[in-house]
Amino acid sequence: MCPRSAEQVEQLKDERRSALLRAARVVFSRKGFAAAKIADVAAGAGISHGLVYHYFPDKEALFAATVSLAVEGWQSLLSQVLEEPGTPLDRLTSLCGKMIAGLGDEPEYLLLIIQAHTGEGVPESLRALLQQHRRKVFEDLTTLIVEGQRAGLIVREIPDALARALLALIQGMAINRLIDAGETPPPLVVVTRLLKV
């Protein structure tokens, strides 16, 4: 009845929703959409499987929300880096550093996106979101690379090819992180060798 309680209830709901999404990120990224069990996600979030359906209408919606969150995380990371000071190469280096650091905390982001791309039963709307996201990332990367090339800081290869290689490298690192959690990723200086003149 009192506002405090209502707020707390609301907050609890949000927390649980977040916990669900966190658990979903782990489960979906490791197993893919089809193999992931709602019961696993629920267990990961510490709730009963039935309760999942109070927060998301079905497995597909939970997956879509999880992937959307990952995409948003990427987008915000990207736009944040784009506004940093320094040369284009500095910014690309910062981006790679942040992505690599992110792999430590949340190695699932990239995996999720991969699963969503390749998996079955992924709704078309989600696939469209991902395509759009992919295009945006490439555009931003390519823009930075071209700027860096003009400044003479980045090697004069086809910018698109460089962007593709950079992303492939980061994604590959995410996968290796998942395959072997103990392994340390290659240091940043190795990654940026792809770009430097």
Between CA 173 and CA 165 the distance in angstroms is: 12
Helix (H, G, I), strand (E, B) or coil at 119: coil
Closest approach, Cβ 151 to a copy of itself, in A, equals 18
Are 163 and 64 a contacting pair, CB within 8 Å?
no
Query: Which parts of 3-62 interact with a copy of itself (CB under 8 A)?
Result: 30-35
What separation, in Å, do the N-terminal and C-terminal C-alpha atoms of the chain show? 66
> Is residue 158 close enough to count as binding a copy of itself by CB under 8 A?
yes
21 binds DNA (CB under 7 A): no
Among 81, 118, 123, 154, binds a copy of itself (CB under 8 A): 118
The verdict on 8 binding DNA (CB under 7 A) reads yes
Is residue 172 within 8 Å of 190, Cβ to Cβ? no
Contact call for residue 72 and DNA (CB under 7 A): no
Selected from 17, 175, 181, 182, the binder of a copy of itself by CB under 8 A is 175
In angstroms, the CA 161 to CA 155 distance is 11
Which of DNA, a copy of itself, none sits in contact with 59, Cβ below 5 to 8 A by type? DNA
The answer to whether residue 173 forms part of the interface with a copy of itself (CB under 8 A) is yes
- Please report whether residue 193 would count as binding DNA according to CB under 7 A: no
Distances (CA, A) of 58 to 10, 52, 111, 161, 196: 21, 8, 21, 39, 47
Query: Based on CB atoms, which residue is closest to DNA, 7 or 183?
Result: 7
Residue 101 in the binding site for a copy of itself (CB under 8 A) = no
Q: How far is CA 47 from CA 16, 109, 132, in A?
A: 9, 23, 34
For residues 95 and 86, give the distance between their C-alpha atoms in angstroms, rounded to a whole number.
12
Task: Indicate whether 38 belongs to the interface with DNA (CB under 7 A).
Answer: yes
- Residues of the shown chain interacting with a copy of itself in the complex, contacts defined by CB under 8 A: 30-35, 111, 114, 117-120, 134, 155, 157-158, 161-162, 164-165, 167-173, 175-176, 178-180, 183, 185-187, 189-191, 193-194
